[in-house]
Structure 1
């Protein structure tokens, strides 16, 4: 932009000349401002005619070209994200690039930016995977809670792709967090039953379902109050919990989660034979539930391994 440089130089010299040349002050007061205004207008017109206000500079273009030519796997995370932004600067309608950018931002714990990227992608392409990623990002932003926004994303993802395991799992987790253990159990067992044995999610979900469903159901306030008393005895409370669970099992009122709790609590107190006996009862009781049997088979293998190590 040679002409622009010349005009800017003239403006600079005019300002200096007006300041140091006494004769310039004898001219009409309006003349200098008028000349300056004209030069500024001329400079602006020259720039708009030949310049590119939105065009990146040459160094950026060179860096962008190098990023685009490189194997993404060889780039740092920041460089990979900048590469995706390069793509989006050229085409803001690339839904895949927006979704990929959202995933990278989420992994970098930049949840708010990730949510914006996912939403941009979804406005272009309503995709089950992106919806599931959006829901999980909402959860990460809220300490693992399945919020209303996360739940809505999972519901829509499940509608679009019923076979995707993550939305169902997290909807079950939402039910669990809200205190509806029976609903969570039903969702997870159905999901485990539907997954193929070769699907790696099957074992992961079965293990997570056990960890959650087997948590002892206790009143936190009552436990805190009891712990403050002088005669608090943890062993007595655990024994009472075991007795309540045993009574539910013997009466036939126990659900699948009750069996899991009893197995877990017996393991906590070192009663491995009692845990194995409860496991055998559960396998007989839920033999017709493939999802339940997957969890129980994992428990059996774990208990057998523990017994082998103890010998």
Structure 2
């Protein structure tokens, strides 16, 4: 029945083109050839016996890859952007969502300077984003190396807390961010936004505590 419908549809299209649009004798052969070519293409490529299975588009690895790179430059006490050529190249790749390629490039930066905290942090962020915002063991190791390389830098602890929060590990995220806010310089531009984020985190934890208390059985009567 499918082939009958295809042929009938082709003939209907051909009749409309020839009579409704009053195509002259000259172009009729070209129009007929085009319609027959379409039918032939369906015959060779179509699979009418297969059931339809619409597929959903794959979710992006990160909602805003550029914001991930820009955030690393903002959450800093130095205010000096990196000038390491490997990190610059990796940032360009990460802005386009090419996190795996960025991670490969960042390994070159780390080989050049194993104490480059910005390279370790960029690598950790790229690994988390490439893993669909999951904190994998290699990413956790990279965050730890970034903290070791520059203990006073806020970036590694901020993004590690963010990775914890994305996984639902809110208590661990709160511990990191609370220490970060307490030790932040008064004039740090990221201090107030982080404090507000910490307040939202406290509200989420309070909500979880309320839900847990609600499901607890009542104490036995004395």
CA distance, structure 2, for counterparts of residue 177 and residue 110 of structure 1? 20
Q: Unpaired runs of 5+ in structure 1?
A: 1-94, 219-239, 245-311
Residue from 117, 120, 137 that aligns with 1:131: 120
Tell me if the contact between 2:133 and 2:163 (Cα under 8 Å) persists in the aligned partners. Answer: no
Cross-structure match for 1:116: 104
Question: Could you list the runs of 5+ residues in structure 2 that have no partner in the other structure?
Answer: 1-82, 215-222
Shift of 1:176: 4.0
Report the TM-score when normalising by structure 1.
Answer: 0.37
Residue number in structure 2 paired with 1:217: 208
Match of 1:205 in 2: 194
- Aligned length, in residue pairs: 129
2:135 counterpart of 1:146: yes
Structure 2 distance, partners of 1:180, 1:146, is 11
For the pair 1:191 / 2:153, whether they are aligned, the reply is no
TM-score (norm 2): 0.51
* Cα contact 2:134–2:167 (8 A) shared by 1: no
Please give the alpha-carbon distance, in whole angstroms, between the structure 2 residues aligned to 1:104 and 1:179: 29
What's the offset of the Cα at 1:170? 2.6
Distance 1:144 1:194, change over 3 A: same
* Bigger Rg, structure 1 or 2: 1
- Contact kept, 8 Å, 2:143 with 2:160, in 1: the verdict is yes
Root mean square deviation of aligned Cα: 2.6
- 8 Å CA contact 1:146–1:173 kept in 2: the answer is no
**For residues 161-200 of structure 1, what are the alpha-carbon distances to aligned partners after superposition, in whole Å with 9 as ceiling and x for unaligned?**
1111121123333444555543332221111011112111
After TM superposition, the structure 1 = structure 2 runs for residues 53-68 of structure 1, keeping only pairs within 5 Å, are none
Deviation of 1:138 after TM superposition, in Å, equals: 1.1
1:6-45 equivalent positions in 2, closer than 5 A: none
**Aligned equivalents of 1:135, 1:214: Cα separation in 2:** 28
Aligned-pair distance for 1:105? 0.7
Structural mapping, 1:87-98, within 5 Å: 96-98=84-86
- Provide the C-alpha distance between the structure 2 equivalents of 1:142 and 1:206, rounded to a whole number of angstroms: 28
Name the structure with the higher helix share: 1
Q: Deviations over 1:61-103 (max 9, x none)?
A: xxxxxxxxxxxxxxxxxxxxxxxxxxxxxxxxxx921121011
Distance 1:121 1:191, change over 3 A: same
Whether the 8 Å CA contact 2:87–2:105 is kept in 1: the answer is yes
> Over residues 206-255 of structure 1, what are the superposed CA-to-partner deviations in whole Å (9 max), with x where a residue is unaligned?
2222333322328xxxxxxxxxxxxxxxxxxxxx85x96xxxxxxxxxxx
SS of 1:214's equivalent in the other structure is helix
Counterpart in the other structure of 2:144: 155
- CA distance 1:192–1:117, shift in 2 (3 Å): same
